[in-house]
Structure 1
Protein backbone atom coordinates (compact mmCIF):
# COMPACT_ATOMS: atom_id res chain seq x y z
CA UNK A 1 0.00 0.00 0.00
CA UNK A 2 1.34 3.37 -1.06
CA UNK A 3 -0.04 6.72 0.05
CA UNK A 4 -0.74 9.40 -2.52
CA UNK A 5 -2.07 12.88 -1.92
CA UNK A 6 -4.24 15.23 -3.92
CA UNK A 7 -4.74 18.95 -3.23
CA UNK A 8 -6.68 21.54 -5.20
CA UNK A 9 -7.53 25.22 -5.01
CA UNK A 10 -9.87 27.02 -7.38
CA UNK A 11 -7.65 29.89 -8.50
CA UNK A 12 -3.97 30.55 -9.03
CA UNK A 13 -4.12 33.27 -6.34
CA UNK A 14 -5.01 30.74 -3.65
CA UNK A 15 -2.44 28.71 -1.73
CA UNK A 16 -2.12 24.94 -1.56
CA UNK A 17 0.11 25.14 1.53
CA UNK A 18 -2.44 24.10 4.19
CA UNK A 19 -3.57 21.07 2.20
CA UNK A 20 -0.04 20.02 1.28
CA UNK A 21 1.14 20.28 4.91
CA UNK A 22 -1.79 18.15 6.09
CA UNK A 23 -1.10 15.49 3.46
CA UNK A 24 2.61 15.38 4.28
CA UNK A 25 1.77 15.12 8.00
CA UNK A 26 -0.22 11.99 7.16
CA UNK A 27 2.84 10.43 5.52
CA UNK A 28 2.44 11.36 1.85
CA UNK A 29 5.86 11.78 0.24
CA UNK A 30 6.46 14.85 -1.91
CA UNK A 31 6.86 12.84 -5.12
CA UNK A 32 3.44 11.25 -4.56
CA UNK A 33 1.64 14.55 -4.07
CA UNK A 34 -0.46 15.85 -6.95
CA UNK A 35 -1.97 19.33 -7.10
CA UNK A 36 -4.19 21.51 -9.23
CA UNK A 37 -5.05 25.18 -9.29
CA UNK A 38 -8.33 24.84 -11.15
CA UNK A 39 -12.05 24.75 -10.58
CA UNK A 40 -13.50 21.58 -9.11
CA UNK A 41 -16.59 21.78 -11.28
CA UNK A 42 -15.02 19.50 -13.89
CA UNK A 43 -12.55 16.61 -13.76
CA UNK A 44 -10.25 17.56 -16.63
CA UNK A 45 -7.38 18.70 -14.40
CA UNK A 46 -3.72 17.95 -15.06
CA UNK A 47 -2.74 16.97 -11.50
CA UNK A 48 -5.74 14.67 -11.18
CA UNK A 49 -4.98 13.10 -14.56
CA UNK A 50 -1.38 12.39 -13.52
CA UNK A 51 -2.56 10.93 -10.21
CA UNK A 52 -4.86 8.57 -12.07
CA UNK A 53 -1.91 7.38 -14.15
CA UNK A 54 0.35 6.75 -11.12
CA UNK A 55 -1.89 4.87 -8.70
CA UNK A 56 -2.17 1.10 -8.67
CA UNK A 57 -4.25 -1.52 -6.92
CA UNK A 58 -3.94 -1.29 -3.15
CA UNK A 59 -2.91 2.37 -3.11
CA UNK A 60 -4.71 4.97 -1.01
CA UNK A 61 -5.29 8.57 -2.03
CA UNK A 62 -5.56 11.14 0.75
CA UNK A 63 -7.51 14.34 0.17
CA UNK A 64 -7.94 16.99 2.86
CA UNK A 65 -11.63 17.66 2.16
CA UNK A 66 -14.30 16.14 -0.07
CA UNK A 67 -14.82 19.31 -2.11
CA UNK A 68 -11.11 19.43 -2.98
CA UNK A 69 -11.53 16.35 -5.19
CA UNK A 70 -14.54 17.78 -7.00
CA UNK A 71 -17.77 19.75 -6.80
CA UNK A 72 -19.99 17.96 -9.30
CA UNK A 73 -21.77 14.87 -7.95
CA UNK A 74 -21.74 13.01 -11.27
CA UNK A 75 -18.01 13.67 -11.70
CA UNK A 76 -17.29 12.59 -8.12
CA UNK A 77 -19.21 9.33 -8.60
CA UNK A 78 -17.34 8.73 -11.85
CA UNK A 79 -13.98 9.39 -10.17
CA UNK A 80 -14.75 7.22 -7.16
CA UNK A 81 -15.94 4.42 -9.44
CA UNK A 82 -12.82 4.67 -11.63
CA UNK A 83 -10.51 4.53 -8.61
CA UNK A 84 -12.57 1.70 -7.07
CA UNK A 85 -12.28 -0.34 -10.27
CA UNK A 86 -8.50 0.11 -10.05
CA UNK A 87 -8.56 -1.10 -6.43
CA UNK A 88 -7.64 2.35 -5.11
CA UNK A 89 -9.34 3.86 -2.04
CA UNK A 90 -9.79 7.54 -1.26
CA UNK A 91 -9.73 8.94 2.28
CA UNK A 92 -10.96 12.43 3.10
CA UNK A 93 -9.04 13.63 6.14
CA UNK A 94 -11.23 16.46 7.46
CA UNK A 95 -14.47 14.65 6.73
CA UNK A 96 -13.32 11.39 8.36
CA UNK A 97 -14.69 9.26 5.54
CA UNK A 98 -13.26 6.83 3.04
CA UNK A 99 -14.38 5.01 -0.09
CA UNK A 100 -13.26 1.78 1.55
CA UNK A 101 -16.37 -0.35 1.93
CA UNK A 102 -19.96 -0.01 0.74
CA UNK A 103 -21.03 2.42 3.47
CA UNK A 104 -18.06 4.66 2.76
CA UNK A 105 -18.94 4.88 -0.93
CA UNK A 106 -22.56 5.70 -0.06
CA UNK A 107 -21.57 8.45 2.39
CA UNK A 108 -19.16 9.98 -0.13
CA UNK A 109 -21.88 9.97 -2.80
CA UNK A 110 -24.35 11.69 -0.48
CA UNK A 111 -21.79 14.28 0.63
CA UNK A 112 -20.85 14.92 -3.01
CA UNK A 113 -24.48 15.75 -3.73
CA UNK A 114 -24.54 18.09 -0.73
CA UNK A 115 -21.32 19.81 -1.90
CA UNK A 116 -22.80 20.32 -5.36
CA UNK A 117 -26.03 21.73 -3.91
CA UNK A 118 -24.02 24.14 -1.73
CA UNK A 119 -22.05 25.30 -4.75
CA UNK A 120 -25.32 25.97 -6.60
CA UNK A 121 -26.67 27.93 -3.61
CA UNK A 122 -23.49 30.03 -3.50
CA UNK A 123 -23.82 30.82 -7.21
CA UNK A 124 -27.49 31.75 -6.76
CA UNK A 125 -26.73 34.03 -3.80
CA UNK A 126 -23.87 35.66 -5.70
CA UNK A 127 -26.08 36.32 -8.72
CA UNK A 128 -28.91 37.66 -6.55
CA UNK A 129 -26.49 40.01 -4.83
CA UNK A 130 -25.06 41.17 -8.13
CA UNK A 131 -28.53 41.87 -9.56
CA UNK A 132 -29.54 43.77 -6.42
CA UNK A 133 -26.35 45.84 -6.56
CA UNK A 134 -26.92 46.64 -10.25
CA UNK A 135 -30.49 47.71 -9.44
CA UNK A 136 -29.03 50.13 -6.89
CA UNK A 137 -26.76 51.58 -9.59
CA UNK A 138 -23.52 49.93 -8.54
CA UNK A 139 -21.26 49.35 -11.52
CA UNK A 140 -19.03 46.33 -11.83
CA UNK A 141 -15.69 45.99 -13.54
CA UNK A 142 -12.53 47.98 -13.61
CA UNK A 143 -12.77 51.73 -13.21
CA UNK A 144 -11.90 53.62 -16.39
CA UNK A 145 -8.39 55.03 -16.24
CA UNK A 146 -8.63 57.25 -19.30
CA UNK A 147 -9.94 60.78 -18.86
CA UNK A 148 -12.85 60.51 -21.29
CA UNK A 149 -13.84 64.16 -21.00
CA UNK A 150 -10.34 65.28 -21.92
CA UNK A 151 -10.43 63.04 -25.03
CA UNK A 152 -13.76 64.57 -26.06
CA UNK A 153 -12.57 68.12 -25.31
CA UNK A 154 -9.44 67.67 -27.43
CA UNK A 155 -11.54 66.26 -30.26
CA UNK A 156 -13.94 69.24 -30.05
CA UNK A 157 -10.89 71.53 -30.30
CA UNK A 158 -10.08 69.92 -33.62
CA UNK A 159 -7.26 67.61 -32.49
CA UNK A 160 -7.24 64.39 -34.54
CA UNK A 161 -7.60 60.91 -33.07
CA UNK A 162 -3.99 59.96 -33.79
CA UNK A 163 -2.68 63.05 -32.01
CA UNK A 164 -5.03 62.51 -29.05
CA UNK A 165 -3.84 58.92 -28.78
CA UNK A 166 -0.17 59.99 -28.75
CA UNK A 167 -0.75 62.81 -26.30
CA UNK A 168 -2.70 60.63 -23.83
CA UNK A 169 -0.60 57.51 -24.42
CA UNK A 170 -3.57 55.35 -25.41
CA UNK A 171 -4.50 53.43 -28.53
CA UNK A 172 -6.25 55.15 -31.38
CA UNK A 173 -9.02 52.54 -31.16
CA UNK A 174 -9.57 53.62 -27.53
CA UNK A 175 -10.01 57.19 -28.69
CA UNK A 176 -12.63 56.10 -31.23
CA UNK A 177 -14.44 53.96 -28.63
CA UNK A 178 -14.63 56.94 -26.27
CA UNK A 179 -15.88 59.24 -28.99
CA UNK A 180 -18.55 56.72 -30.04
CA UNK A 181 -19.71 55.90 -26.50
CA UNK A 182 -22.53 57.80 -24.86
CA UNK A 183 -21.21 57.74 -21.28
Structure 2
Protein backbone atom coordinates (compact mmCIF):
# COMPACT_ATOMS: atom_id res chain seq x y z
CA UNK A 1 0.00 0.00 0.00
CA UNK A 2 1.39 3.37 -1.09
CA UNK A 3 0.18 6.62 0.46
CA UNK A 4 -0.50 9.58 -1.79
CA UNK A 5 -1.56 13.04 -0.71
CA UNK A 6 -3.66 15.74 -2.32
CA UNK A 7 -3.93 19.36 -1.18
CA UNK A 8 -5.78 22.28 -2.76
CA UNK A 9 -6.40 25.96 -2.15
CA UNK A 10 -8.57 28.21 -4.31
CA UNK A 11 -6.26 31.21 -4.70
CA UNK A 12 -2.60 32.13 -4.63
CA UNK A 13 -3.27 34.23 -1.51
CA UNK A 14 -4.06 31.05 0.44
CA UNK A 15 -1.34 28.72 1.69
CA UNK A 16 -0.99 25.00 1.09
CA UNK A 17 1.52 24.73 3.96
CA UNK A 18 -0.85 23.50 6.68
CA UNK A 19 -2.40 20.82 4.45
CA UNK A 20 1.01 19.68 3.18
CA UNK A 21 2.37 19.52 6.75
CA UNK A 22 -0.63 17.43 7.87
CA UNK A 23 -0.27 15.03 4.93
CA UNK A 24 3.47 14.57 5.49
CA UNK A 25 2.84 13.93 9.20
CA UNK A 26 0.35 11.22 8.16
CA UNK A 27 3.11 9.45 6.22
CA UNK A 28 2.90 10.85 2.68
CA UNK A 29 6.33 11.12 1.03
CA UNK A 30 7.04 14.46 -0.72
CA UNK A 31 7.24 12.86 -4.21
CA UNK A 32 3.73 11.42 -3.74
CA UNK A 33 2.16 14.73 -2.75
CA UNK A 34 0.09 16.55 -5.39
CA UNK A 35 -1.26 20.08 -5.06
CA UNK A 36 -3.42 22.58 -6.91
CA UNK A 37 -4.00 26.29 -6.49
CA UNK A 38 -7.31 26.42 -8.30
CA UNK A 39 -11.05 26.50 -7.71
CA UNK A 40 -12.62 23.25 -6.58
CA UNK A 41 -15.51 23.80 -9.00
CA UNK A 42 -13.60 22.08 -11.81
CA UNK A 43 -12.22 18.56 -11.86
CA UNK A 44 -9.70 19.49 -14.57
CA UNK A 45 -6.87 20.50 -12.26
CA UNK A 46 -3.27 19.65 -13.13
CA UNK A 47 -2.25 18.16 -9.78
CA UNK A 48 -5.44 16.12 -9.54
CA UNK A 49 -5.06 14.80 -13.09
CA UNK A 50 -1.46 13.69 -12.45
CA UNK A 51 -2.56 12.01 -9.20
CA UNK A 52 -5.28 10.11 -11.07
CA UNK A 53 -2.65 8.69 -13.44
CA UNK A 54 -0.16 7.79 -10.71
CA UNK A 55 -2.35 5.77 -8.34
CA UNK A 56 -2.83 2.03 -8.70
CA UNK A 57 -4.90 -0.68 -7.05
CA UNK A 58 -4.18 -0.87 -3.33
CA UNK A 59 -3.04 2.75 -3.02
CA UNK A 60 -4.59 5.18 -0.54
CA UNK A 61 -5.06 8.91 -1.14
CA UNK A 62 -5.00 11.15 1.92
CA UNK A 63 -6.80 14.49 1.84
CA UNK A 64 -7.26 16.78 4.83
CA UNK A 65 -10.93 17.65 4.22
CA UNK A 66 -13.74 16.72 1.82
CA UNK A 67 -13.95 20.24 0.36
CA UNK A 68 -10.28 20.10 -0.67
CA UNK A 69 -11.15 17.44 -3.25
CA UNK A 70 -13.86 19.58 -4.83
CA UNK A 71 -16.83 21.90 -4.41
CA UNK A 72 -19.41 20.22 -6.64
CA UNK A 73 -20.84 17.26 -4.73
CA UNK A 74 -21.77 15.22 -7.81
CA UNK A 75 -18.33 15.65 -9.45
CA UNK A 76 -16.53 14.89 -6.19
CA UNK A 77 -18.53 11.73 -5.56
CA UNK A 78 -17.96 10.60 -9.15
CA UNK A 79 -14.23 11.06 -8.60
CA UNK A 80 -14.36 9.01 -5.39
CA UNK A 81 -16.28 6.29 -7.28
CA UNK A 82 -13.68 6.36 -10.08
CA UNK A 83 -10.92 5.82 -7.52
CA UNK A 84 -12.94 3.05 -5.85
CA UNK A 85 -13.46 1.23 -9.17
CA UNK A 86 -9.67 0.92 -9.66
CA UNK A 87 -9.16 -0.20 -6.07
CA UNK A 88 -7.86 3.11 -4.70
CA UNK A 89 -9.16 4.21 -1.30
CA UNK A 90 -9.59 7.83 -0.23
CA UNK A 91 -9.23 9.03 3.39
CA UNK A 92 -10.35 12.46 4.56
CA UNK A 93 -8.27 13.00 7.69
CA UNK A 94 -10.10 15.87 9.42
CA UNK A 95 -13.56 14.49 8.55
CA UNK A 96 -12.80 10.91 9.68
CA UNK A 97 -14.20 9.50 6.42
CA UNK A 98 -12.56 6.64 4.53
CA UNK A 99 -13.61 4.55 1.52
CA UNK A 100 -11.55 1.55 2.73
CA UNK A 101 -13.04 -1.82 3.67
CA UNK A 102 -16.68 -2.80 4.13
CA UNK A 103 -17.56 0.49 5.82
CA UNK A 104 -15.86 2.31 2.98
CA UNK A 105 -18.08 0.57 0.42
CA UNK A 106 -21.07 1.72 2.42
CA UNK A 107 -19.71 5.30 2.44
CA UNK A 108 -19.29 5.20 -1.35
CA UNK A 109 -22.85 3.84 -1.74
CA UNK A 110 -24.29 6.54 0.52
CA UNK A 111 -22.31 9.27 -1.25
CA UNK A 112 -23.55 7.95 -4.61
CA UNK A 113 -27.15 8.08 -3.38
CA UNK A 114 -26.60 11.66 -2.16
CA UNK A 115 -25.19 12.64 -5.58
CA UNK A 116 -28.12 10.99 -7.38
CA UNK A 117 -30.61 12.81 -5.15
CA UNK A 118 -28.80 16.11 -5.73
CA UNK A 119 -28.84 15.61 -9.52
CA UNK A 120 -32.58 14.83 -9.34
CA UNK A 121 -33.27 17.97 -7.26
CA UNK A 122 -31.27 20.12 -9.70
CA UNK A 123 -33.18 18.64 -12.65
CA UNK A 124 -36.52 19.26 -10.92
CA UNK A 125 -35.58 22.87 -10.06
CA UNK A 126 -34.37 23.47 -13.62
CA UNK A 127 -37.61 22.11 -15.09
CA UNK A 128 -39.72 24.16 -12.64
CA UNK A 129 -37.74 27.26 -13.60
CA UNK A 130 -38.23 26.60 -17.31
CA UNK A 131 -41.98 26.07 -16.88
CA UNK A 132 -42.27 29.25 -14.84
CA UNK A 133 -40.26 31.20 -17.43
CA UNK A 134 -42.42 29.82 -20.27
CA UNK A 135 -45.56 30.85 -18.36
CA UNK A 136 -44.12 34.39 -18.24
CA UNK A 137 -43.58 34.32 -22.01
CA UNK A 138 -39.84 33.59 -22.13
CA UNK A 139 -38.94 31.76 -25.32
CA UNK A 140 -36.09 29.26 -25.34
CA UNK A 141 -33.88 28.27 -28.22
CA UNK A 142 -31.82 30.12 -30.78
CA UNK A 143 -32.81 33.68 -31.54
CA UNK A 144 -34.28 34.26 -34.96
CA UNK A 145 -32.03 35.89 -37.50
CA UNK A 146 -33.31 39.27 -38.64
CA UNK A 147 -33.70 40.07 -42.32
CA UNK A 148 -31.66 43.27 -42.42
CA UNK A 149 -32.49 43.88 -46.11
CA UNK A 150 -36.20 43.83 -45.34
CA UNK A 151 -35.70 46.37 -42.51
CA UNK A 152 -33.85 48.68 -44.93
CA UNK A 153 -36.45 48.15 -47.68
CA UNK A 154 -39.27 49.07 -45.28
CA UNK A 155 -37.33 52.19 -44.25
CA UNK A 156 -36.93 53.09 -47.96
CA UNK A 157 -40.72 52.78 -48.29
CA UNK A 158 -41.02 55.51 -45.68
CA UNK A 159 -41.98 53.42 -42.64
CA UNK A 160 -40.79 54.58 -39.23
CA UNK A 161 -38.93 52.43 -36.72
CA UNK A 162 -42.07 51.66 -34.70
CA UNK A 163 -43.98 50.44 -37.77
CA UNK A 164 -41.00 48.38 -39.00
CA UNK A 165 -40.59 46.81 -35.57
CA UNK A 166 -44.28 45.96 -35.38
CA UNK A 167 -44.41 44.53 -38.91
CA UNK A 168 -41.29 42.38 -38.39
CA UNK A 169 -42.07 41.43 -34.75
CA UNK A 170 -38.74 42.76 -33.50
CA UNK A 171 -37.78 45.40 -30.98
CA UNK A 172 -37.66 49.05 -32.02
CA UNK A 173 -34.14 49.28 -30.59
CA UNK A 174 -33.11 46.47 -32.97
CA UNK A 175 -34.44 48.50 -35.90
CA UNK A 176 -32.43 51.53 -34.74
CA UNK A 177 -29.27 49.40 -34.44
CA UNK A 178 -29.70 48.06 -38.00
CA UNK A 179 -30.36 51.54 -39.40
CA UNK A 180 -27.36 52.98 -37.52
CA UNK A 181 -25.12 50.16 -38.81
CA UNK A 182 -26.25 50.83 -42.37
CA UNK A 183 -25.59 54.55 -41.94
CA UNK A 184 -22.04 53.80 -40.77
CA UNK A 185 -21.48 51.43 -43.71
CA UNK A 186 -22.71 54.05 -46.16
CA UNK A 187 -20.33 56.63 -44.64
CA UNK A 188 -17.44 54.14 -44.81
CA UNK A 189 -18.18 53.39 -48.48
CA UNK A 190 -18.33 57.11 -49.18
CA UNK A 191 -14.92 57.68 -47.56
CA UNK A 192 -13.38 54.77 -49.46
CA UNK A 193 -14.73 55.88 -52.84
CA UNK A 194 -13.85 59.53 -52.15
CA UNK A 195 -10.25 58.64 -51.29
CA UNK A 196 -9.55 56.97 -54.65
Normalising by structure 2, what TM-score?
0.55
- In the alignment of these two chains, the number of paired residues is 116
2:34 maps to 34
* 2-structure distance, mates of 1:14, 1:23: 17
Quick check: 1:72–1:112 contact (8 Å CA) kept in 2?
Answer: no
Which runs of 4 or more aligned residues in structure 1 lie more than 3 Å from their structure 2 counterparts after TM superposition?
106-113
1:104 pairs with one of 103, 107, 122: 107
Query: Residue 83 of structure 1: SS of its match in structure 2?
Result: helix
Query: Residue 57 of structure 1: SS of its match in structure 2?
Result: coil
1:56 maps to 56
Deviations 1:136-179 (A, max 9, x none): xxxxxxxxxxxxxxxxxxxxxxxxxxxxxxxxxxxxxxxxxxxx
Bigger-Rg structure (1/2): 2
Q: Pairwise CA RMSD of aligned residues?
A: 2.4
Quick check: 1:5–1:34 contact (8 Å CA) kept in 2?
Answer: yes
Gaps of 5+ in 1: 114-183
Shift of 1:103: 2.2
More helix by percentage: 2
Quick check: 2:65–2:95 contact (8 Å CA) kept in 1?
Answer: yes
Query: Residue 34 of structure 2: SS of its match in structure 1?
Result: strand
User: Does residue 1 of structure 2 align to residue 4 of structure 1?
Assistant: no
Quick check: 2:81–2:108 contact (8 Å CA) kept in 1?
Answer: no
Quick check: 1:71–1:112 contact (8 Å CA) kept in 2?
Answer: no
Shift of 1:109: 5.2
